Every structure is written in structure tokens, then in C-alpha cells.
Chain A
Amino acid sequence: MIRSTTGGVLRGYRANLMKSFISLNKARTTALTQRNFNSFAEDPVAAAKSFQLRKARMSVESQHAICDDTYRKYQTGWTALDGVSKLIDTENGTQINNLKNITHRALNDPTGDARSTLSTAISQISEAIVQNMNQKYGENFVFAGADGQNVPFEIVDNKLYYRGVPVDAAVPDVVADPSSADGAPLAFDFATGTVSATGDTYLKTGTSALISQAEFDQITANDPTATQPQVLMQSDGTTIQRFNEKGEPDPNGEYYLNLEKAETVSKTDYETAQSDVEKLEYLAGERYYVDIGLGFQENERSQLIPSSGFDAALNGIHFIGYGLDEDGDPKNIYSLAQRMKEIAARVGDGDWSDADYEEFHRLVGKLEDASDEFKTQYTDMSAATEKLKNNVELLEDNYYTLVEQTSDLEDVNMVESITTFIWAQYCYNAALKVGNSVLSQSLMDYLN
């Protein structure tokens, strides 16, 4: 440039003054807003990151609320289970009137004078257990699995139902049809006593109804006028169905089945029991998930990945047991108690019969098993409750960490901000001062 003109100098000055003022304004805005950036354009990477952090924080906030709520529900449940535990058995034996104590007393009462009273007590305690298991948290029943709006346990005719399903449901063992590949039961027509694929009755397993061919034949051999018992016939109605000594259908077997002694179950009842057992199995393991910040993702089948959510379902029968054991005794505490109550009431204040005593004794043992199982679940729930509590705290920590990270990203360092502002102001003032001299000086000022 060979010339610097007045206009050119002023233009340059004006442009630089404007820049200086813009810098000052920016520094002032930063100091006033206390933010490192006020638009994506200022720092796109930081802004995007900041929103991600804020999103995470907002998620954590609501997850914390859900987790806290779930924790309280579990606490409520835990309290209820604690009550049940005390009703069954109390640590250190401090609780006198608990189920185990009473049943032991009933079993060991030498005089039997209080057995009727104890029977009533057993009944009351068992009902109290059910009441505890119908505890509510908020509007929902705690131990209702995924049916929180309905009472989970109901007692109808002294039988306990969980969500409409009898808790003592069990599929009886029935004789299998050997011609069936999948082990279908052997069906027979109850009215005619013949095996039939469309028969309405199944045979329960057992050998008590078996009668040997020799014995069967002997009946008429000794007395032709004697009446032979009705035995199960094959589907042709003329050939007797043979069984082996285990009670299994066998063409070469040497036994017949005495229908008069046979234990049977109707097909309808059998299928209902099957269905009920299936339902109980499902309901005992029913799950529903809530988002407490474990990821909450779905797999390729749009099913939630179990580890990413928290299974908040508390299934009542999972705690107090369901179904029958191999002895045919209920695994459910209430049902066990009811059975014991019935025996105690039946025996009354009299002496134990051997059979009653043996059964009562066995049931006391089963109650012990159920109690152990309950305690295991109770302990698991304590652990789950603790896990929730920890998660609540973890989410709180996460929340504060995210707030801090957001703050680190967004909030200005005040020292730096003020320093920048002061520096910008200093530069601007300097620019103004320079401008004063730029405007005043020229050769014109020195002409005489």
C-alpha cells in the first residue's frame, strides 16, 4: 500500500473498534450468563455433550423416583413378610404364639386339653398370614405380581386361591397310554369300563387296584356263581386290559385292574389341574420390569433384556409356596396350617390316633420346610430391597455427578471469565483512546 488515507485509516479503525466491542460484549455476556456457550454455534461439541448429560440427568431423576418408589414398595412388602415370618416363627423364640410354636405344642400336648384352642389359633394365624400377603402399597397390592389392582389371595371354602388359581393345584399321576408317543394318559370310558381314546376318565397310578389273573380266575373257579369284580377292558370291550406288577399297561402282564378299587380322575379335572399348575408355575415366576437406570434395552425380538430392567413383580405364591409335594402334601404355608388345623380339630381333646399323629407330625415337618423356603425368599427379598436402596443412592450419586459434569461443561470459570472481561474492557478502552488520536491528528492541524 502506497498511501494511507484518512478514510482508509478511519475504516480500519472502525472495523477494529467494532471487533473490540464485539469481544467486550461477548466477554460481558459470558460473565453475565455464567455460561461458556449460549448457542450450539459457539461450541457444537460441548453443546451436544451438554444435552446428553442433561438427558442422562433427567433420566436419572425419573429413574430415581421410580427406584425410590419401588424401594418403598419392597419395604412395604418386606414389612409384610416380616410380619408373616413372625407369625410362622420368630427368631430367638421370642414370639410365643407363632405357627410353629403352636403346632409343636399341639403335637406335644400330652393331655390334649388345649388342642381345640390351638386349632383355632392355627386357623387365625394362617388367616393372618394371608392378610399380610394382601398388603397394599399405594393403590396396588404388593404381592399380586402383575395384577396389582386385585386382591391376590382369596380364601374360598378354606382353600387358598392366588389370582383365582387354587394354590394347592397339582396334576395327579396317571397311568400312561403305552401306545402314545408323548406319554398321554390312558383314557377309558367310565360307564363301560373300556379303554377309549375319547374316554372321560384317567387312572391314577398305583397297584392297590390290581388283581392277578390267577386270583381273578380263582373267584369263579371255586364258585361259578360268584361275581368277579369289574375290570378294565380293552377298547374292543371283550378283551381284558392287562397290567404288569407296577400297574403299567402290559399285553403280557399278569394283572387286571379292578375298577371298583381303582382311583380315577376325570379328564376334565385332570386338565383343570394341569392348567392350574401351569398357571401357578407362570405366576410364581411372573415378571414385570421397571426402569431404574440399568439400561432398559430390548433385544431383536423387542423383548426387554432382563438384566437391563428391574423385575419389580412380587409374586405372593413365590413366598408362601404352592402346589403339592411328592407326598401329596401342600407346600403352601396356609394350606399346611389349614390341614393341621383340621387334624387338630378332628382329634380335639382326645388322644392322638397313630395315623393322625403321624400325619400331623409329617405336616409339622413340612411346615418347617415351607418355613425354611419362606425364609430363603424373605432373605432374597431383603437383599433385593437392599439392592434397591443401594441403587437409589447410586442414582443420587449419578445425579450429582451429572450435575457436576454439566456444570463443568457449561458454567464459566469465574476467574477466567472476569479476567477475560477485564481484558476485553481494557482492550476496548485502549481502542477508544487510539481512536481519539486517530481522529485528531493530520497535517491540517499543523498548518499556519
Chain B
Amino acid sequence: MGTVGTFETFTTARLGIYAAQKGLSVTGNNISNINTIGYTRQRVDQVSLKTGANDRYRSEYDNHVGNGVLVTGISQIRDPYLDIRYRTERSDVGYTDTKLNGLNYISAILEEVAKGENDGDGLLYAQLQKMAESLRSLSASAGDKTNDTLLQGAAESLAMLFNQYAGKLESLRQTTMDSFQESLDAVNGILTNIRNLNDAIRKSDIHGDGALEMRDERNRQIDALSEYMKIDVVYSMEDIGGGTQVEKLTIRLGNANPDKQVTSDSAVLVDGIFAAHLEMPDKIPEINPQYDPASTDAVNQFRYLVTDPDTGAVRGTDDPEEANQVSNVNFNLTVGKLLDDKGREWKDSTVTWTPVTPDVPGTRAIYTVPITTNGWANGDVIDIGDGLRFQVAASGGHLTEEEANDPVKLAEVIAARLNRYDRGYAVTAEDGSLVFTARKAGAVGPTDKATLKNQGPDAEPALPKSVSTGGASQTAAIIFGSLLENAPGTDAVLPALPPDQPIVSADGRFSTYSTYAEKDGEWFRVETTVQHTLPVNLDDNDLYGSLQATRELLTESGEFSSSGTINGVDESAAIKRGIPFYQKALDLLANQFATRYNELNSGYLVDQNGHYIRDTGRVNSKGETVYETIADPGTQVTYYVNEAGEYQGLTDPTGTLRAITSTLSNNMNANEKKAFQESLAARGYDSIDAYLTAVGGIKVGGNLFSNQGDSNDATGITASNISVALDWSEGKTHVVTSYVKLFNGDVPNTTQNENVDHMISMLDKALVYNPQDIEPNAASEYLFNGSFNDMLSKVWSTLGNDQRITSVVLDNHYTYMTEVDTNRDSVSGVDLNDEAMNMMQYQKAYSAACRLMTTIDEALDRLINNTGVVGR
């Protein structure tokens, strides 16, 4: 039976009190922080205490009792898996929420549901119909100038609405740009905070402090970061020497890019006490808009464009550094270098030892040359080259005959002599051999005596077994000559090393320092590779979260994207639509509208049959111009069609086609237009218009819309610049109601309206909207086919559907994020019921420990004061 320490149980009670006290403190801390965002509930880690088993009075029986409880630490309760899930969802929420907000802003500008007269006729939408209304009035009363004025007013209102919408969209783009910059600043602030927290936690860790509150704050920062971008958080242990390891936090981008070949989407943002910043360069490589990896074109097979500074010729390149640097309109981002709080760069190094050509003699650090000579006689001179000569003499020489013929002795003498000089090698004599050892690594080279000589294919140099005495000096030179001299062509020189400059990898990420070192008699090339962090140019889809959503709002132009963008930047670019898409779609609508009506309002006069006429230079009795129908040879064409009526050209090589003869007019079908374009091209005219101008056709009318109000220039009309042309607004040009001059002008037709009818029909005509009309490099040639109103409705539908889908997705993500957050809270959050229970539990434990102490006290009191007093 073991013994019991008299006061041992007091310690047990005391430890119990301590533990309960600590428990109450932690509970109090938990309750206090119940509303602290990011707070992780803490708990007391305690273990039961049992002192050593080899005490002095140790019982041979196993009846040891523990000695109470020890508080070993305070820990947090977190589930890393839930953190990962939460942050993934939060980046989803960040992305969709930001996207939806952006789309809502666009919608607030563009969309016209419940706007306009009659509780929702719309503004731009209704204005197009007001144009139709004015045109109908003009058609019914074609000669009335009042209607022309009314139409002009409607056109001005329409242009103004286009201008307003375009202006608001541009303003939204500018605001979003500011917001993007603010987000970048916020992200960089978070990265800095995390780095600083890492540093503080690391220091605490070294000193044994768990730094729980700082970890909470760090988690909060990481949570916030995850809203901006998808991230991958990894915890690892870092060896700080002395057998101590501390936790290291690494945050990388979260592999958001669907292109598996891209690696930049896992760029390191934070590595322990180092952190990078996101930067937006002013200039980026110029993307080849026609880039097609499958192309064999000398330029278009390359991703970027570069202009030769001398010739100005443009060629392709895949090297972003070489490419032309243009404004960063794509808002490309770069992850900068990893720096610590003092601006020091993160580095890592690895050392590799590589044996240098082990089968090449002379690359070794140590060479053993056995001395096997004999037959020397007094009077001989042993010449080992390099000016070293040994006289063999019975006396007064360097060697006696006996010594000369004793390899051990001879080696010692030669070694002693050779070591008198400061050479690159040391020589020792060992058991009849000369051992050459290079004094320093890397001290090699053709002029250095430490260079070890090639002794030929047999590697080991061998001295001749015997030499003759006649002409001994010459013979002797042979012995060492090839060993010590720099005989050209016999060196096995190690590759020269750059003096002190590292070899830097092409991307600058690695610096390699090389040297030679000897180890165990062998030479090694020792390469120390230092890894630097370089700025990482992020690919278009490397980010996710709100930052990427804002980028996409700023850059994505959907069907207006160039093939270079689709092939070289983002394969999904054609189906992503941000502010630029809606700007360009509106531009395309305005451009189409203006172009069509400008075309309709400009043309050549015709007779009642639609045939073009010209001025004869004569006037009739009323002083009016006399016209004549143009009947030049170019106004006739014969072309061929197949059975399906499809145009086949101006010749019939097979003799099976149907010939059609047609006269040039303003009401030709598509085949006739093709035929005339072809036939007139053969006559040297670029177009039908060019021909008509050449043969005296009379062009009338003029542009109704221009690219600014003080000109008639219709080039490059967009929603932002569309205006009523100067001449129309000043009354110099009117709407051409008719191009027809009846019977060459003999019969007046003041209210003829066929051209106004064209204009009315145009409003409901299905037109193809080609993105290339606005963005010449756009990959797509088709956006929509419909009327002007339909196009507007199509834009709204696209926007509305995108909003709707994004809203549903956001709802899902938000619900899931809330759920995960609640799950996370179920692990890490403070619960009042829990804490109330803990409070009661620790309070009871505290009381019990106190009671124990009282009990022991009472027991000891009995023992000390009341024991052995029987009979007193």
C-alpha cells in the first residue's frame, strides 16, 4: 500500500480551484465577446495531473491517485473545412452580388419599364414610334414642310435620348472604375493587415502565446478577402531553427481560372510574414485582335502585336515583354512581389551538388601519382619540369642514389620541394606516391597551376618504371611534364564559372550562383538557386469574387469582343456582358438608325419607272429643267440564275442557266444589285453610285443625322454623338419625300411620298445588327435581326434575363453562405446556453474544490488536533 502525502490533497484542491477559476474566466470572455464579429469561442484545455511513478514510498501495488488538474492552455474551436466552404461561398456571393448591383445600375439607366407616357410607353422606345407617327403624317401630306419640322423635332428628341443614355452609361463606367480602384485599395489593405497579423502571431507563437484574438482578427480579414476574390488558405509549420516550429499561413489565389494550363491563378498573395499587393499597371501588352492559335498567318498566330521601331511594320509575338505596350483598358492586374513589413523581398534557396564529369581525369580534387622509379644513378639529374631539378649524387646532391631509387624517399623529396612554392595545390608524399590536392574550389583555369592535367585516356598518371642515365634530364621531364605543365590540348579544365554574377532565369524568378567544391576527393558543381517572387501578371479569369465582377462590368463586351480577346484572353468573352456591351449595343442601334435614314434620304433622281435620269441642260417653256432617262450601256445587264433563282454571275459557262436582262433602277432586287455591281466594276466603277455620278445622275438629299450637331459628317455615329445633321436643322436639307420626277419633270408631283413610305417601312423592317459595324475587330458578325424597337427590346431582354439569372444565383449563394456561416457558428460561435452551463459547471467545480479543501482541512484538523487525545 502506498503512502499519501499529508498535504498533497490540498494541492489537488488548489489546482481544482485554479482550473475552475480559469474556466469561469474563459466563460466570461466568451460571454463578453458574444457580439464580437469573428470571435471564436474559447475553451480551457485541462488535463488530469499525476506525478511521477517513482516516488520514494512507491507502492508495489497499482493504487496511485492523480494529483488534480492542470490547465494546459486556452484553445479555439474552429473547423477549417467550414472556413473553406464559407470563403468559397462568400466569393460566389461577392461575385454575383457585385455583378447584380452593376446590372441593376445599367438597368436603371437603360430600361424603360413603367417609364414614359401612358404609364410605361417607354422613352427611347416611344420616341421611335413618335418618329413613325411623324413619318406617317409626312406621308399623308408629303409636301407640307410643317411635317418635316415635326419630324425633325422627333429626330432631335430621339438623338437626345440616345445621348443621355450613352452619357449615363459612360458616367456609370467611370463610377465603376473608381469603385474598382477602391476595391483594389481595400484588398491591398486586407493583405497588409493579414501580413502584419501573421507577423504578430508568429512572434506570439515563438513565445508560446496562442494569440487567439489575433487569429480571430486574421480570420475576419481572410473572410473579408474572400469576398473580393477566390482564395486558397493553407496552414503549415515553419522551422525557425533550434527545433522550433511555428505556424505559417499561406494564401494563394484559388485556382479560379477554368483554363487548367494557367498557373497564375494560384499566385501567392500571403506567405507568412510576406504579402503581395495587387497592382494595376498603366500599360499592358497589345493584344492581337485577330489572334487565332490555329492560324498560319504570319501575324495572327501570335497573341500580341509588336511594331518594328525602324520600319513601322507590325508583326506578332507571344512575348508580352516584347509586345507593344498599350493602355491597360482591360484592367489587367498584377500580383506584386512578396514583401515583409520592412519592404524586404521574400526569398528561398536550394543548393544542388552535381558531380562534374566524373569520368574525365583532371576533374578531381586529389590526384595520387605513384612513384615507381628505379635505376637512377649518381650524377643523374631528375628534371620534373617547371624548373625543378634534382641532382643525384652520393654527396652534395639532392638525393643519393639509394634515395632516388626509393619511391618513398623520392616522393618525400619532391613533395618537400614542390611545397616551397605557393602553388594552387599542395603535394604530400604518401607511401611512395605524390598526392596533389587542389587548395581551393573553383581555382581552376588554364593559367592556374592548380589545374590538374590530363594524363590521357588511362586516367592515372604513371611514372615509367625505369629511365636511362644518359640524357636523364630530358627523360625525367617526361615523368612530370604532362602532369604539371600547361600543355595545350591536354587540359581537362572545368567549365569556367561566371565570376560572381548569378545566372538569372528568363522570367527573372530564379538566380543561380555556381561554384565548384571538393567533397571526398571529388569535384562538384555547387549551384545555389535563389527563388525570388516576381510580379505575376494575372490572366483574365484568375480572379473571382467582387473584384472580378467589377472588372467584368468594366470590360466585357459580349458579342463585340474581338477574336483576339476570345482566343487569347477569355474563351467566354462572347457571352459575358458588362457596361461596354450595353454601350456598344446602344451605339450599334443609334448607328444603324442613323445610317439607314441617311441612306434613305440621299439618292439619285429617277423617272416614274424608277430609271435614273439626268439633266439635259435644257429648260422647257416654263423655265423648268428638262431631264432625260439615262440609257447608257451600263444601265443594262444580263445575268444568270439557277433553277432556284440564285445569282450565278454574268456568264453561263454550262449553258444551263436562265438569263435575265435588267435595267438599272432604284427598285432592284438583290440579284440585280449584284449583277450591276459586278458589271459596273468591270467597267471600272467601284459602286453603282460611282457610276451614276459619272454618267450625270442627279444626287439629291443629304444626311439627316451626323456625328455632331455642327456638321453633316455621318462617320462613326454612336449613341453618344448622334445628332440631327447641321443642314437639316438649318433647313438646307429636308426629308426627301420622293426621288421621282414624273415624265422627266414634265408633270409635277408635289405630294409624292414613296420615299417617306420607305422610311415608315424601315421602322418595322427586320435588320441585321452586325457588331463589326461598331467594333471592326469583333469576332461576331451577328447580334440580332429585328426592327429598331425589337433591338431595344432585345437589349433589355438580355439585361433583364442576366439580372434575373444573377439574382437567382445570388439568392442561392447567399442562402448557402448563410447556412455555412451558421454551421461555422455552430462550431465556433458563442452560445448563451452553453456558456450558462459552463458557468454553472465551473462554479460548481469551484465550490466543490473549495469544499474539498475544507474537508481535507477538517480531516487534518482531526489528525493533528484531535488524534491521540483519548483519555486526557
Q: Interface on A for B, CB 8 Å cutoff?
A: 1-8, 11-12, 15, 33, 35, 37-42, 44, 47-48, 50-52, 54-55, 58-59, 61-63, 65-66, 69-70, 138-140, 144-150, 163-165, 275, 278-279, 282-283, 288-291, 296-298, 300-304, 309, 312, 410, 442-444, 447
Contacts and interface: CB of A to CB of B under 8 A. Distances in A.
A11 B120 CA distance: 40
B136 A6 contact: no
B837 A47 contact: no
11 contacts: A8-B821, A15-B814, A44-B801, A138-B141, A140-B144, A148-B142, A149-B143, A279-B742, A290-B753, A302-B667, A444-B832
A403 to B, nearest CB: 9
B836 A51 contact: no
| Chain B interface SS verdict (over half) | helix
A165 B749 CA distance: 13
B122 interface: yes
B829 A8 contact: yes
A48 B796 contact: yes
Given A279-B746, A312-B140, A146 B753 contact: yes
Contacts of A40: 107, 111, 113, 796-797, 799-801, 803
Given A54-B118, A282-B742, A289-B139, 18 more contacts: A11-B818, A11-B822, A15-B814, A35-B114, A40-B800, A41-B800, A47-B797, A47-B800, A50-B113, A62-B132, A139-B144, A164-B746, A296-B760, A296-B761, A303-B667, A442-B833, A443-B833, A444-B836
B743 A279 contact: yes
Interface string B114-149: 100011111001100110110011011111100000
A447 B836 contact: yes
A323 B384 CA distance: 141
A59 B107 CA distance: 26
Contacts of A163: 747-748
A48 B793 contact: yes
Contacts of B825: 5, 7-8, 11
A441 to B, nearest CB: 9
Nearest to A162: B747
Nearest to A7: B829
B840 to A, nearest CB: 7
A140 B668 contact: no
B789 interface: yes
B669 A300 contact: yes
B100 to A, nearest CB: 9
Interface string B827-839: 1011111111101
Contacts of A149: 143, 750-751
A377 to B, nearest CB: 21
Contact of A288 (B132, B133, B754, B797): B754
Give the contact-size bracket for chain B.
35 or more
B363 to A, nearest CB: 68
Contact of A140 (B136, B143, B608): B143
A58 B789 CA distance: 12
Nearest to B832: A442
B743 to A, nearest CB: 6
Contacts of A138: 141
Contacts of A66: 136-137, 139-140
Contacts of B834: 3, 5
B823 A1 contact: yes
B758 interface: yes
Contacts of B203: none
B34 interface: yes
A143 to B, nearest CB: 12
Contacts of A296: 757, 760-761, 764
A38 B114 contact: yes
A300 B126 CA distance: 28
B826 interface: yes
A55 B803 contact: no
A5 B829 contact: yes
Nearest to B744: A275
A291 B761 CA distance: 9
Contacts of A304: 754, 757, 761
A67 B800 CA distance: 37
B50 interface: no
Contacts of A165: 747
A113 to B, nearest CB: 45
Contacts of A4: 826, 831
**Which of B748, B750, B751 has its CB near the most chain A CB atoms (within 10 A)?**
B751
Contacts of B815: 15
A111 B35 CA distance: 127
A46 B120 CA distance: 13
Given A146-B752, A148-B750, A15 B818 contact: yes
Contacts of B753: 146, 288-290
A63 B763 CA distance: 14
A41 B833 contact: no
**Which of B111, B136, B139 has its CB near the most chain A CB atoms (within 10 A)?**
B136
B831 A58 contact: no
A12 B821 CA distance: 9
A47 B800 CA distance: 9
A147 B142 CA distance: 9
Contacts of A275: 743, 746
A44 B829 contact: no
B670 interface: yes
A33 B113 CA distance: 12
A3 B836 contact: no
A3 B828 CA distance: 10
Given A3-B827, A442-B833, A291 B822 contact: no
Nearest to B840: A447
B765 interface: yes
A11 B121 contact: no
Contacts of B862: none
B120 A147 contact: no
A300 B139 CA distance: 21
A55 B125 contact: yes
Contact of A59 (B129, B137, B814, B821): B129
A438 to B, nearest CB: 12
A69 B141 CA distance: 10
A156 to B, nearest CB: 13
B712 interface: no
A44 B797 contact: yes
B822 A3 contact: no
A58 B113 contact: no
A59 B763 CA distance: 11
Given A47-B113, A150-B750, A54 B742 contact: no
B121 A54 contact: yes
A156 B137 CA distance: 34
A4 to B, nearest CB: 6
B136 A290 contact: yes
